[in-house]
Amino acid sequence: MSANTGENERGLRNVIEMTRMISIVILLLHFYYYCYQAFAERQWTTILTDRLLLNIKTAGLFNNFHISKIIALGFLFISLIGATGRKDEKLVFQPIIIRLCAGLLLYFFSCFIFKISLSNQTIAFAYIVTTATGFVMVLSNGTMLSRLLSVRLSRDIFNYANETFPQEERYLRNDYSINLPARFVFQKKAEEKLDKYYQSL
């Protein structure tokens, strides 16, 4: 049973890594296609990559400027759904959402850099850096958001406030019972076990 669980976890990690890699490859192809003139000026183009790009273009990936970016972002979000990591209950929801939205704004609104009157290489460099920064922000904060949601959804009564849990509060008496007074924390309240019983004695 444990062996199967370990294999399932490894398989899930492999799927997540592959999905994330697909996202990065699509984004790199987007950079290469829409910043082609800058790459050509640097002589960073080859016949093989040009032929590959032409075949991908016929599939409709570059029919619209934002299609490839949306597809890359979609694969990234799919990889974040199954993201796991060290649980940190100190994560705060609001800052994560703010940084995630900022990353999305950088990612999509970086296209306005092409409207600036600069050299091809300067525009390409600024566009790639801005878009990649937005992509990394979405990746990092999306991972934290997935981790935070995982912690919130998996929290149970046996793992709250240093592993405290609800205890029996009634006075049960039989030949084998042992009743001891105790204090415990449950649902953010301190409870006295058997407190009422001992007060009545």
- Biggest alpha carbon–alpha carbon distance for the chain: 93
pLDDT under 70: residue ranges of the chain: 1-6, 82-89, 151-169, 179, 181-201
- Locate the domains of the chain by residue range: 2-154, 157-201
Q: Which residues are CB-contacts of 121 (< 8 A; sequence separation ≥ 6)?
A: 38, 41, 42
Q: How would you write 139-179 as a 3-class SS string?
A: HHHHHHHHHHHHHHHHCCCCCECCCECCCCCCCCCCCCCCC
pLDDT at 197: 46
Q: What is the pLDDT of residues 101-118, one digit of tens each?
A: 999 999 999 999 999 999
Q: What is the four-CA torsion angle of 27, 28, 32, 35, rounded to 10 degrees?
A: 60
pTM higher than 0.75 for the full model? no
Residue type, 144: M
Model pLDDT for residues 57-95, shown as the tens digit of each residue: 888 888 899 999 999 999 999 988 866 655 555 778 899
SS3 192: strand
CB neighbourhood size of 10 (10 A): 10
Give the 3-state secondary structure of residue 184. Answer: strand
List of long-range contacts for 186-189, beta carbons under 8 Å, 24+ apart = 186/157, 186/160, 188/161
| Closest C-alpha to 66, from 102, 101, 114 | 114
Q: Which amino acid is present at 114? A: F
Question: What is the C-alpha separation between 138 and 19, in angstroms, rounded?
Answer: 15
Amino acid 185: pLDDT: 62
- Residue 84 has what pLDDT? 61
Beta carbons of 135 and 103 less than 8 angstroms apart: yes
